[in-house]
Amino acid sequence: MVYVVITENDESSWGDVTGCIYHFPKRYEKYIREGVTVVYYKGKNKKKEFVAKRLSSSPHYFGIAKIGKIIPDEKSKKGDLFATIDDYQSFRKPVLAKTASGYLEKIPASKQSNYWRDGVRPINKAIYQEICSQLDDDDIAPIVDVAEIDSSENESLSFESQQEGTKKLKYVTYYERQHKLRVQAVAIHGCTCAACGFNFFYFYGEYAKDFIHIHHTVPVSELGGEMLVNPKSDLVPLCANCHAVVHRKKDKTLSLFELKELINSAAKNR
Ligand SMILES: [Zn+2]
Ligand SMILES: [Zn+2]
Ligand nearest to the CA of 214: 2
H/E segment holding residue 38 = strand 37-42
pLDDT at 215: 93
CATH number of 3-144: 3.10.590.10
Distance 190 CA to ligand 1 centre (A): 13
249 pLDDT band, cuts 50/70/90, is very high
A 10 A CB-CB count for 191 gives 19
Mind giving me the DSSP string for 246-261? HTSBTTBPPPHHHHHH
Average pLDDT over residues 131-155: 66
Distance 122 CA to ligand 1 centre (A): 42
User: Is the model's pLDDT at 4 over the cut of 70?
Assistant: yes
The identity of residue 109, as a single letter, is A
pLDDT in tens, 16-44: 889 999 999 999 999 999 999 999 999 99
Classify 75 as helix, strand or coil. coil
User: Is the model's pLDDT at 149 over the cut of 90?
Assistant: no
Q: What are the C-alpha distances in Å from 220 to residues 16, 119, 251?
A: 25, 35, 16
Q: Where are the domains of the chain?
A: 3-144, 150-268
Average pLDDT over residues 182-194: 93
% of the chain exceeding 70 in pLDDT: 86
Distance 23 CA to ligand 2 centre (A): 26
